[in-house]
Amino acid sequence: MQFVNRELSWLSFNDRVLQEAFDSENPIIERIRFLGIYSNNLDEFFRVRVATIKRMIVIGGKTVSGYDGTFEELLEDMMKVVKKQQKKFELAYQKILKELGKENIQHINENDLYEDQIKELNEYFAEKIEDKIIPILLDKKRAVSKLRDSMIYLGVKMHSDKKPLYALIEVPDTVNRFYVLNDKFGQKVILIDDIIRLNLERLFHIFEYDVIEAYTFKFTRDAEIDFDDDLSVSIVEKMKKGIKGRKQGDPVRFVYDEQMPEDLLKFLIKKLNIEKNEIITGGKYHNFKDFMKFPSFDKKEYTFKALPPVSHPILTGVKSVMKQILEKDILLHYPYQKFDYIVDMLREAAIDPKVESIKINLYRVASNSKIIHALINAIKNDKEVTVIVELQARFDEENNIYWANVLGITAPKSFLEFLV
């Protein structure tokens, strides 16, 4: 039987997501959002799967499942596929931009602005962005080790007839990345990356350089969590330590604007300890996961029609979900049917004198979880609550630890079990 290596298979799956961005049958803004989904998927792929392959190379792993070659060769083939897809990605985005242009919607940058638009964006920068930016000056002695892999950065080069000066700017994620300008020719979308570029002289006004320019790059770290064998330390404490260590993980990818000057590129690569096989050439913009929130300009035809979950015929309009369940089995199919019934059932169980205990598995829960609140209510009504919490729900570990602590503090007599 022939097997396909799971990493290469996964890249084929993500390529299928990318194909949706080319499909003219999809609404145009949804096609941009498919690019965002593809980008978000690829981020996790590098943080987890590429990171794992690099670890196998370090420890000298030999056997690769579903692949006729070494881990080094597999990594090389993976990077070839990613770089090929990167070109398709750029092609898809440019194609969508042309189609948006026919709708009088343009994605513009800092070089495409009229005087009144420059004034508007400078005011917006001063009010909403400037106080969230802390430029970091770079030199050969200063270490740069705390870059966050969920962010995008601008590598800044200041130069004239004297030695160039380099700096970093972290593009803030607390501000909407898209700003819409309206004029007589239609609607324009500009990214805050370019609004920052527009104001580079304002940020670095104390330095006397003729030219100040900025180029985007993205930095991805190994996000796998390490566990030690110390049996005296609880699994929760090990997880907390692992999450903290994730922020200092080894680099696995460096994507940069192909227009970046060679000297700035070399400086950053050396400063961040980037290896040759971790470097990927890209376009001007990165962190396309943000494009899942690309503005729709209040035009319904630009997005898929919203499909609200339907009611279940047996549970519609009933006062007691528990009573209906006792009468017959009920199958709910999510997300096509309402999840509210589960919350209603737990709320009802929390106050029902006949209910003595509640047992539930939790994998991922919302930051303001109705499920958790219902369980806390049950605990306060002296119910025995047993919760199995999946701590290692990828990139949701901190949230799960928080809720596990909340339940533990609220209910010292209740039972919490942690799965890894």
CA–CA separation, 128 vs 246, rounded Å? 30
Number of neighbours of residue 103 by Cβ within 10 angstroms: 14
Q: Are 127 and 63 in contact (CB under 8 A)?
A: no
- pLDDT for 278 equals 81
Residue 385's beta-bridge partner residues? 358
**Whether residue 278 sits in one domain with residue 330:** no
For residue 403, give the H/E element and its range. helix 397-410
Summarize pLDDT for 62-71 with one digit per residue, the tens: 778 778 888 8
How many domains are there within the chain? 2
Provide the 3-class DSSP secondary structure of residue 325: helix
The residue segments making up the domain with residue 404 are 321-419
Q: Residue 38: inside a domain, yes or no?
A: yes
Q: Confidence class of residue 420 from pLDDT cuts 50, 70 and 90?
A: very low
Of 402 and 49, the one with more pLDDT: 49
Q: Residue 313: inside a domain, yes or no?
A: no
**Whether residue 192 sits in one domain with residue 294:** yes
**Residue where a domain terminates, one of 302, 337, 354:** 302
CA–CA separation, 366 vs 362, rounded Å? 11
Q: Confidence class of residue 204 from pLDDT cuts 50, 70 and 90?
A: very high
Q: Residue 314: inside a domain, yes or no?
A: no
Q: Confidence class of residue 283 from pLDDT cuts 50, 70 and 90?
A: confident
**Whether residue 326 sits in one domain with residue 277:** no
Mean of the per-residue pLDDT values of the chain: 84
Residue 98 burial by Cβ neighbours in a 10 Å radius (0-12, 13-18, 19+) = exposed
- pLDDT for 162 equals 81
Q: Are 406 and 380 in contact (CB under 8 A)?
A: no
**Whether residue 279 sits in one domain with residue 331:** no
What does each C-alpha distance from 257 to 294, 302, 303 come to in angstroms? Answer: 21, 29, 30
Q: Which CATH number characterizes residue 389's domain?
A: 3.30.870.10
Structure tokens at 315: 């549970």
Of 132 and 415, the one with more pLDDT: 132
Determine what percent of the chain is predicted with pLDDT higher than 90.
47
Summarize pLDDT for 76-117 with one digit per residue, the tens: 999 899 989 989 999 999 999 999 999 999 999 999 999 999
For residue 361, give the H/E element and its range. strand 357-362
Structure tokens at 110: 């800092």
Alpha helix ranges (H) inside 199-282: 200-203, 235-246, 262-271
CA–CA separation, 367 vs 305, rounded Å? 27
- pLDDT for 184 equals 81
Q: Residue 310: inside a domain, yes or no?
A: no
Determine what percent of the chain is predicted with pLDDT higher than 70.
85
Q: Residue 153: inside a domain, yes or no?
A: yes
**Whether residue 155 sits in one domain with residue 54:** yes
- pLDDT for 389 equals 73
Pairing of strands 105-107, 136-138: unpaired
Q: Which CATH number characterizes residue 227's domain?
A: 3.30.1840.10
Q: Confidence class of residue 28 from pLDDT cuts 50, 70 and 90?
A: very high
**Whether residue 13 sits in one domain with residue 146:** yes
> Which of 39-43, 194-198, 330-334, 388-392: highest mean pLDDT?
194-198
**Whether residue 236 sits in one domain with residue 141:** yes
Does residue 408 surpass a pLDDT of 70?
Answer: no
The mean pLDDT value for 234-257 works out to: 64
Of 157 and 235, the one with more pLDDT: 157
Q: Are 259 and 215 in contact (CB under 8 A)?
A: yes
Of 177 and 234, the one with more pLDDT: 177
- pLDDT for 259 equals 93
- pLDDT for 244 equals 55
Measured over the CA atoms of residue 91, residue 95, residue 97 and residue 98, the dihedral's sign is: positive
Nearest Cα residue to 403 out of 339, 381, 231, 374: 374
**Whether residue 284 sits in one domain with residue 395:** no
The mean pLDDT value for 146-151 works out to: 77
The mean pLDDT value for 254-276 works out to: 89
CA–CA separation, 149 vs 247, rounded Å? 8
Q: Residue 316: inside a domain, yes or no?
A: no
**Whether residue 400 sits in one domain with residue 370:** yes
Of 64 and 74, the one with more pLDDT: 74
Q: Are 386 and 357 in contact (CB under 8 A)?
A: yes
The mean pLDDT value for 42-55 works out to: 86
Q: Which phi and psi angles does 415 have, rounded to 5°?
A: -115, 125
Alpha helix ranges (H) inside 170-231: 192-198, 200-203
**Whether residue 393 sits in one domain with residue 246:** no
**Whether residue 265 sits in one domain with residue 330:** no
Summarize pLDDT for 329-357 with one digit per residue, the tens: 999 998 899 989 999 999 999 999 999 99
Q: Residue 223: inside a domain, yes or no?
A: yes
